[in-house]
Amino acid sequence: MLMRMSTLFLRTLRDDPVDAEVDSHRLLVRAGYIRRAAPGIYTWLPLGLKVLAKVEQVVREEMAAAGAQEIHFPALLPREPYEATNRWTEYGPNLFRLHDRRGNDYLLAPTHEEMFTLVVKDLYSSYKDLPLALYQIQTKYRDEARPRAGLLRGREFIMKDAYTFDIDAESHAASYQAQRDAYERIFARLGLPYVIVTATSGAMGGSRSEEFLSPSPIGEDTYVRSAGGYAANVEAVTTPVPEPVPFDGAPAAHVEDTPDTPTIASLVDVANARFPRPDGSWTAADTLKNVVVALTHPDGGREVVVIGLPGDREVDLKRLEAAVEPAAVEAAGDADFAAHPELVKGYIGPSALGPNAAGARDVAPDGRVLAGAVRYLLDPRVVPGTRWITGADEAGRHVFELVAGRDFTADGTIEAAEVRAGDPAPDGSGPLELARGIEMGHVFDLGTKYSQALGLTVLDQNGKSRVVHMGSYGVGVSRAVAALAENFHDERGLTWPVAVAPAHVHIIATGKDEAVFTAAEEIATQAQERGLEVLIDDRRKVSPGVKFADAELLGVPVVVVVGRGLADGVVEVRRRAAGVTEEVKVAGAAGHVAEVVASLR
């Protein structure tokens, strides 16, 4: 393959695009790999498409190695299958919905569990047909509220999605492992660093899932690890629950005037000054903060929820969202407070909340407290016997020594408090460290969620009908291009690994001497004969400085500069990433380049 800078559809840009927040976005646009068509929607220019095709090829090869067969579903799908699994509703505003000319409802698919389930139901009927693994590489749609960071969170994007079908959980475990192994090979071949973490399943449902995260400070996901091997997305971290504390003989709760305590810190100061604790000083961890949020359930119902958590921790919105999924979260508004006069802003306390306060209450299957009551959920640390300073449900007053389990109860617990470095791992494997990562892959044990909803059963060896056990496995293919750029760049531009680079070698002819261009063309021909993909800068009226800068920006792994040295029979060979330059004889240049490329693989 030979590309020529003189004709390549490319213009590198000096300036960063104004909407670029992250390096990969900035550089992929500046280097002419992608171009924005609309918010979160990108066009692939020639070099970008070559990188994308290489990523796809790696994914295809490893899917084939895992025994998965490729098929291809439409992106435009009828509503009915997604209605059957309730995802037509659950996806909320993230789903692009439309009608056809007859008024029938369609969607642009964000993922294809329903369709894969139905096609297997359509074709297969016996345990002998299983196990089965199918996949596609396909364009998907998600109407993100905040598309950002170029390809990292787009509204039209390319995914590899695979699905496995097994007769039982045991067989599924092997299918799951085969996909998980394939993912490890894919990311290793791409050169993309990754960690595997326990995750929540979100809209996908099912019982178990793991994410492949590429560590990056600009990643949207936060994950934790312990020295003892625990690794999880913060969304999936469960708080170790302390033992209950005996509260026999604990002092009675007492309500106090606490004016001018708008913050936890000011409350703690007042408490220590005016109501000193016999057994030490009060800290923020002794206060119980009650945070009001409003949930919108998929059926459109709005619910006010109060979350009680130690005052030294914030609510982590992503953990909260994961905990209440598929409901959507927003801050409670004036109307919510008006509807619930028991919520005294700034002084909300558990005394007015929870079953104790409200008496017996009916609860819906999704946890909602019926009849429009406020639901009260506690951080798991608030175990019976813990003593708190908290709101007294009257302006300017707090209650002290309020004991959980004695003075108040809740409707349940919730994992919504932030996870902090140093928190204990839930499995006891030591303190947690936090880091950020880009979600590159996600593997799900779906159980029978989709097969049950859509009636995918097979007959087993005894002629009995069995609901098929499914798994679902995604790789963000277009996102991988961005994650690679995020990992492989420096201040001058991109530094692609050989496996995904748009070309192996970038040959630059500098100066005006015809012999330079002739020699560059000869090296290009010889390099192609050695199976290398070549980009040659054969532009006649462009300065060496511009050509060098373009080469740095484009990031082809090996750069050959044919210039003044040619008079002495030498050319320069640079390794773009390492920044190492050597002079080699022009006669052996192509062979040398081939060796360098091989050494970089």
By CB under 8 A, residue 359 contacts a second copy: no
Which two three-digit tokens encode residue 53? Answer: 């095709």
By CB under 8 A, residue 569 contacts a second copy: no
* For a second copy, the closer CB: 45 or 590: 45
Question: What is the spatial distance between Cα 259 and Cα 272, in angstroms, rounded to a whole number?
Answer: 14
By CB under 8 A, residue 372 contacts a second copy: no
Which of residues 44, 230, 282, 444 is near a second copy by CB under 8 A? 44
By CB under 8 A, residue 145 contacts a second copy: yes
By CB under 8 A, residue 584 contacts a second copy: no
* For a second copy, the closer CB: 11 or 14: 11
Q: How far is the CB of 325 from a second copy (least distance, A)?
A: 18
By CB under 8 A, residue 38 contacts a second copy: yes
By CB under 8 A, residue 96 contacts a second copy: yes
Which of residues 57, 83, 121, 124 is near a second copy by CB under 8 A? 124
Question: What is the spatial distance between Cα 119 and Cα 3, in angstroms, rounded to a whole number?
Answer: 42
Q: How far is the CB of 106 from a second copy (least distance, A)?
A: 7
By CB under 8 A, residue 10 contacts a second copy: yes
Strand partners, 164: 133, 471
Which two three-digit tokens encode residue 436? Answer: 């950020």
Task: Tell me the window of 97-105, 226-234, 508-516, 570-578 that interacts with a second copy (CB under 8 A).
Answer: 97-105
Which of residues 42, 127, 176, 444 is near a second copy by CB under 8 A? 42
Alpha helices, DSSP H only, in 325-476? 334-339, 354-358, 449-454
CB contact set of 47 (below 8 Å; sequence gap of 6+): 8, 10, 31, 32, 33, 502, 554
How many chain residues touch a second copy (CB under 8 A)?
Answer: 50
Q: How far is the CB of 20 from a second copy (least distance, A)?
A: 16
Which two three-digit tokens encode residue 543? Answer: 């300065």
Structural contact between residues 20 and 26, judged by C-beta atoms closer than 8 angstroms: yes
Task: Tell me the window of 136-144, 378-386, 509-517, 562-570 that interacts with a second copy (CB under 8 A).
Answer: 136-144
> SS3 of 74, please?
coil
Closest CA to 559 of 542, 544, 569: 544
By CB under 8 A, residue 45 contacts a second copy: yes
By CB under 8 A, residue 251 contacts a second copy: no
Which of residues 37, 227, 421, 546 is near a second copy by CB under 8 A? 37
By CB under 8 A, residue 119 contacts a second copy: yes
Q: Look at the block and give the residue holding tokens 């003044």.
A: 564
DSSP 478-523: HHHHHHHHHHSEETTEE---TTT-S-SEEEEE-SS-HHHHHHHHHH
Q: How far is the CB of 139 from a second copy (least distance, A)?
A: 7
By CB under 8 A, residue 588 contacts a second copy: no
Structural contact between residues 462 and 167, judged by C-beta atoms closer than 8 angstroms: no
φ/ψ of 298, rounded to 5, equals -55, -30
CA of residue 488 relative to chain centroid, distance: 19
* For a second copy, the closer CB: 157 or 408: 157
Which of residues 69, 177, 281, 465 is near a second copy by CB under 8 A? 69
Which parts of 466-525 interact with a second copy (CB under 8 A)? Answer: none
Return the half-sphere exposure (C-beta side, CA atoms, 13 A cut-off) of residue 526. 17
Structural contact between residues 385 and 402, judged by C-beta atoms closer than 8 angstroms: no
By CB under 8 A, residue 182 contacts a second copy: no
By CB under 8 A, residue 543 contacts a second copy: no
By CB under 8 A, residue 63 contacts a second copy: no
Alpha-carbon dihedral of residues 172, 173, 176, 182, nearest 10 degrees? Answer: -130
Structural contact between residues 382 and 244, judged by C-beta atoms closer than 8 angstroms: no
Which of residues 41, 317, 331, 578 is near a second copy by CB under 8 A? 41
Question: What is the spatial distance between Cα 157 and Cα 594, in angstroms, rounded to a whole number?
Answer: 34
Which of residues 122, 170, 334, 362 is near a second copy by CB under 8 A? 122
Which of residues 22, 63, 65, 73 is near a second copy by CB under 8 A? 73
Closest CA to 166 of 455, 474, 458, 461: 458
By CB under 8 A, residue 71 contacts a second copy: yes
CA distances from 2 to 282, 504, 531, 535, 536 (A): 72, 10, 11, 6, 7
Task: Tell me the window of 119-127, 173-181, 213-221, 425-433 that interacts with a second copy (CB under 8 A).
Answer: 119-127
Structural contact between residues 28 and 50, judged by C-beta atoms closer than 8 angstroms: no
Q: Look at the block and give the residue holding tokens 């999924």.
A: 325
DSSP 445-482: EEETHHHHHHT-EEE-TTS-EEEPEEEEEEEEHHHHHH
Task: Tell me the window of 101-109, 250-258, 391-399, 543-551 that interacts with a second copy (CB under 8 A).
Answer: 101-109
Which of residues 18, 123, 338, 370 is near a second copy by CB under 8 A? 123
Which of residues 91, 141, 194, 212 is near a second copy by CB under 8 A? 141
Which of residues 29, 55, 108, 322 is near a second copy by CB under 8 A? 108
Structural contact between residues 42 and 68, judged by C-beta atoms closer than 8 angstroms: no
Q: How far is the CB of 469 from a second copy (least distance, A)?
A: 18
By CB under 8 A, residue 171 contacts a second copy: no
By CB under 8 A, residue 49 contacts a second copy: yes
By CB under 8 A, residue 115 contacts a second copy: yes
Binding site for a second copy (CB under 8 A): 7-11, 32, 35, 37-38, 41-46, 49, 52, 67, 69-78, 93-94, 96-98, 100-101, 106, 108, 115, 119, 122-124, 132, 134, 139, 141, 143, 145, 155-156
